[in-house]
């Protein structure tokens, strides 16, 4: 702050840079769990093997039609 009035050069000081404390996650904000694991129905507990490249949140349960969640 050259003049002491709070107007310093932009891009310097706390809260700047790549790791400013916001949004820790995987690539592009996601939380990748790897290729293994199962997709589980939250309603009935039915499990099916996770298919690489297809998020469990886009797979529907064959019994209930609910979108599934991921379990390692």
pLDDT tens-digit readout, 20-71: 555 454 454 555 666 778 999 999 999 999 998 999 999 999 888 999 998 8
Per-residue pLDDT band at 17 (split at 50, 70, 90): low
In order of 13, 38, 46, 56, the CA distances from 42 in angstroms are 45, 12, 8, 11
8 vs 37, more confident: 37
Could you tell me the pLDDT band of residue 18, with boundaries at 50, 70 and 90?
low
pLDDT bin (cut points 50, 70, 90) of residue 19 is low
CA distance 25 to 53: 18
Domain ranges of the chain: 32-72
């Amino acid at each position: 702050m050259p003049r002491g009035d709070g107007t310093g050069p932009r891009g310097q000081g706390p809260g700047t840079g790549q790791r400013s404390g916001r949004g820790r996650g995987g690539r592009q904000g996601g939380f990748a769990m790897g290729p293994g694991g199962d997709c589980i129905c939250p309603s009935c507990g039915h499990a099916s093997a996770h298919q690489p490249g297809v998020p469990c949140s886009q797979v529907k349960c064959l019994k209930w039609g609910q979108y599934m969640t991921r379990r390692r």
